Amino acid sequence: MADELIELGGDDLVAAGGSDVLAVMGEVANRAAAAGVFDRYHQEQTLATVKRHGQSLRSFGGFLELAAGEFGVELDNLDFQGDPAAWGPISWGLVQGFKQWMLNEGYAVGTINKRLDAVRIYSGMAQQAGYVSADESLRIKSVRGIAHKTAKNINMSRSKNRISNKKASPVQVDPRLETNLLFDHGESPAGRRNGLIMALLLDHGLRASEVVLLEASNFDFERGELRFYRPKTKEDARHRMTERTAVAAASYAEVWPGEGPVFVGNFKDGRLRRENPLNGTTLYRLVNRLGKKYGVENLSPHDCRHHCATVMARRGYDVKRLMDWFGWTSPVMAMRYIASEVVQVRDLG
């Protein structure tokens, strides 16, 4: 303990002196305890328990990613088992929504209860570490599991009662919809723009935040490469353009703005409004509108990214290649897509 105090607060202890030393030691000790709250808990549990909690918390993170995807947003820091600070923004309403989402998705009562139990345990430890308020922690703990005696009634009402009209899983892009989204836009400047946007979303899985920053200089037609910046991870990235993207980019390059972002708004007649670059919100609305054109509600850029990842996992891309392509800093997402495809193949026999 003395070593931890010296490492975390040695300068404070020296500066305090006299009667203030004990108070500073207490503060430093609290910081040390907060930093290691999850590690200490893991040491006290069996490996099976830690793994089970990890699966439950990843499911919670997956629910939050789906919810955020409704708004074209991707979340940072979803390490709910390793970082107490990840619990800072979590509220009672989000946990209650997670419970209702599992009910709507048809999860077994036992599974729902285990996952909620993990959420309560780890959010409680995050409250001890100072990242969740005492009031919010009590409210989260009030989201209880489901008594088995009521499971039958819940199963009967699942299809009737939904927490909202928001989708609980990504919109599936079938081959016909994919073809329409890629090619059925006409030759107007706005139509060419839409074709390239959809190629970048469906073939490259770019985030909305990555698409809206693209300029003409990001497209290297001689090498067939797309160079772009990832605001989420603050990294530069490079993709080899797919054939469909290269064709769409060459077509749009004939009319796109020569300076600044290439993706801009348009007038009703299909001419570009060069002074109005798209942002995350307007891109989301554009994709949503294109989906409705083909009878699909609530299509978002994140749905297209999900489609791209699903197709690549189905084609046999490994974890590293998926991480590089999509800019994931953790292998969890890549493994999730690969595992999903393995399950589907197994279920098909």
What is the CATH T-level fold of the domain 175-348, as seen in this structure? hpI Integrase; Chain A (1.10.443)
The listed range with the strongest mean pLDDT (40-54, 191-205, 335-349) is: 191-205
What Cα–Cα distance (Å) separates residue 43 from each residue in 35, 46, 130, 310?
14, 8, 21, 36
pLDDT(139) > 60: yes
Sign of CA dihedral 207, 210, 214, 218: negative
Quote the CA–CA distance of 122 and 63 in Å, as a whole number: 17
Whether residue 171 contacts residue 296, with contact meaning beta carbons closer than 8 Å, is answered with yes
What does the pLDDT read at residue 148?
Answer: 65
pLDDT tens for 26-39 read 676 667 666 788 88
What does the pLDDT read at residue 179?
Answer: 96
pLDDT(18) > 60: no
Buried b / exposed e along 60-82 (16+ C-beta atoms within 10 A): bbbbbbbbebeebbbeeebbbbe
- Where along the chain do the CATH 1.10.443.10 domains lie? 175-348
Is residue 231 classed as helix, strand or coil in its secondary structure?
Answer: coil
Is residue 274 classed as helix, strand or coil in its secondary structure?
Answer: strand
Under the banding of pLDDT at 50, 70 and 90, the label for residue 48 is confident
Quote the CA–CA distance of 277 and 264 in Å, as a whole number: 4
pLDDT mean over 219-243: 95
